[in-house]
Amino acid sequence: MEDFKMSLKLPLFGNTFSPKKIPPRKSASLSSLHKLDRSTRELELGLECGPPMMNIGGHALKFEDGHWITESGGNVSSREMERIRKRNTQLEEENNILKLKIEILLDMLTQSTVDYHLMEKEVQEITPLH
């Protein structure tokens, strides 16, 4: 029985728990570009990279001025189509402004005509009949 009491007093794992420290991991690059030679890297990451381009279903697309533009178009180039679209939008806005101005001018003409007729009526009332 004394042996049993003695074994209870002895801790099985020691007084404190201190795990072994794990060394920090080395960060591994996910890119394979560091494995390429210098000339290939310059081609891939060169200073003259240009706008982003991609090819989807046989259509070449280029990202310019915030829009994807088709490079392989029909008779009209995609740049020309974009220029025509911008000009069309500009002309539509100008047309809307001109329509508004015409409406305002017609309202002003109507008001002037009403004022003229009212003044003419007043003049007729003031002048005696001959």
> What span, in angstroms and rounded, lies between the C-alpha atoms of 88 and 62?
22
Task: Residue 86: name the closest of 98, 94, 96 by CA.
Answer: 94
Indicate the range of 17-21, 51-55, 67-71, 97-101 predicted with least confidence.
Answer: 17-21
Residue 32: its pLDDT value, please? Answer: 67
| E-only strand ranges, the chain | 53-56, 59-64, 67-70
**Amino acid, res. 118:** L
User: Looking at the predicted structure, is the pLDDT value of residue 8 above 50?
Assistant: no
- What are the tens digits of pLDDT across the range 28-74? 666 666 676 777 767 766 656 677 888 877 777 888 888 787 776 55
Task: Residue 49: name the closest of 38, 58, 62, 36 by CA.
Answer: 62
pTM: 0.39
